[in-house]
A = this chain, B = another copy of it.
Amino acid sequence: MKFQYGRILQDRLDGEHGLPRRRLDELARRFGEVQAEVRQRRAGGEYGFYGLAAQDRTIRQISAFAEGVGQAYDHVLVLGIGGSALGTRALLSALRAPAWNELDDEGREFFPRLTVLDNVDPTSVAAALRRIDPRRVLVNVVSKSGGTAETLAQYLVVRRWLDDALGGAASRHLVFTTDPVKGALRALATAEGIATLEVPPDVGGRFSVLSPVGLLPAALVGIDIEALVEGAARAVARAEDDDLLQNPAALFAALHWAADTQVGARLHVLMPYSDRLRDLAEWFRQLWAESLGKRVDRGGNVVHAGPTPVASVGATDQHSQVQLFIEGPFDKLITFLTVADPGEDVSIPPAEGFADEIACLGGRTLGDLLHAEYEATAAALARMGRMNATLALPDLGPAAIGELVMFFQLATGYAGCWYGVNPFDQPGVELGKRLTFGALGRTGYEAPEASAATDADIA
């Protein structure tokens, strides 16, 4: 994977925009401190996700499960939300055939379908339970803490559905991915003899896709999880470099921080030119937003930090977002994701009888067109003074995706240092949780104020 960052710099953009190259030199000089902070925090156990690049035992355990009991099911139903859902969906979209669940058994190479329920919307849950056969489902309940309200509400509903259909056999259709010791799911698993996998205690939910959280569902649908983790190890190895210019994850973080805080690029757009990476961009949104969006810095000073990540897809969003990117405010840094070899290509037949603007497509491939559109969009943005960069992937194999996933996690860890915030907590969601209990009438919890106490301010 290569990170092409030239078009973030002022001397590669038209006009006065972009980051002056001397800023990059400053970042490179300051990187020693950042790398030292990361090393110190790793030693202190804070950056546990680095360990996901080396976990032979876990891979063997998951592979054994997937090749054994996993074969008995033709649908995997994941109950989880946020970090327990987004990564799994990203792996499925990137590494398995498009519209996976619409394929027949042969199209899926006899691997199961996979549904991720990541909301408590009753219409989604009811519909999923109508279309899935409880006799042929494996339900993977994923909650690091074991106490996520949405996930446990889903579990209670799904458990009754399994019990109604299967009676005492229901527990054999369940596997919990949760903390090794703590939480409600762990206690339940122990009491009922339900199979479990462990989320390492030092790995936060949004950094957990390469733990059993994402690896079990991935293995069940036939993704090579060993190659995923090998790719992740490649990213970690590159992040050991103390030269910022040779350490792509650190450089991505430094440039994004500088673009945000020094030249006003508060919006960080990730725009893969690949349908199969759309969900990976959604996963990145959580990672970047929840890790960096913080009221206070590590010193307790009120900073209200946090760039807003935006997910787009090329060429599709050239017909939706690019007008704004190219003509709107100078408040965005756009990172394209390209794939040199997407695995297959499609020839465009000759366009006889069409005007030249269409005829020129004949004889090319859809891949040619997609790549031409990326090159054109990136160049047009640069000409209009818009900062952009490219992460160039060699292919859509599991090693490349594992490397990319770990790259973004490493970048997030570095960005926490540049922003001076703790990238591993999420204190801002606690108030909402307490008010939810209040809204549900739980004793001792205050109810939220209604948005419209009277008819005033309603149209």
Contacts and interface: CB of A to CB of B under 8 A. Distances in A.
A170 to B, nearest CB: 13
A245 B365 CA distance: 53
Interface string A217-253: 0000000000000000000000000000111100100
B98 A429 contact: no
Interface in A104-162: 107, 113, 115, 118-128, 130-131, 147-150, 152-153, 156-157, 159-160
A376 interface: yes
Interface string A1-43: 0111111010010000000000000000000000000000000
Interface string A337-377: 00000111111110101111110111011111111110111
Which of A5, A127, A450 has the largest count of B CB atoms less than 10 A from its CB?
Answer: A127
A149 B101 contact: no
Q: How many copies does the complex hold?
A: 2
A432 B353 CA distance: 25
B358 A152 contact: yes
Contact of A440 (B121, B148, B275, B368): B368
A372 B326 contact: no
Interface in A364-409: 364-373, 375-380, 382-384, 388, 390, 396
A364 B435 CA distance: 16
Given A6-B457, A123-B275, A130-B107, A362 B304 contact: no
Contacts of A379: 435, 448-449, 451
A442 B364 CA distance: 12
Contact of A9 (B323, B355, B457): B457
B373 A436 contact: yes
Interface residues of A, number: 156
Candidate in A7, A316, A342 with the most chain B CB atoms within 10 angstroms: A316
A130 B326 CA distance: 36
A45 interface: no
Contacts of A459: 2-3, 5, 245-248, 251
Interface stretch (A58-66, A173-181, A208-216, A285-293): A285-293
Contacts of A85: 316
A362 B156 contact: yes
B358 A329 contact: no
Contacts of A355: 147, 184
Given A157-B366, A370-B121, A323 B428 contact: yes
Contacts of A358: 147, 149, 152, 184
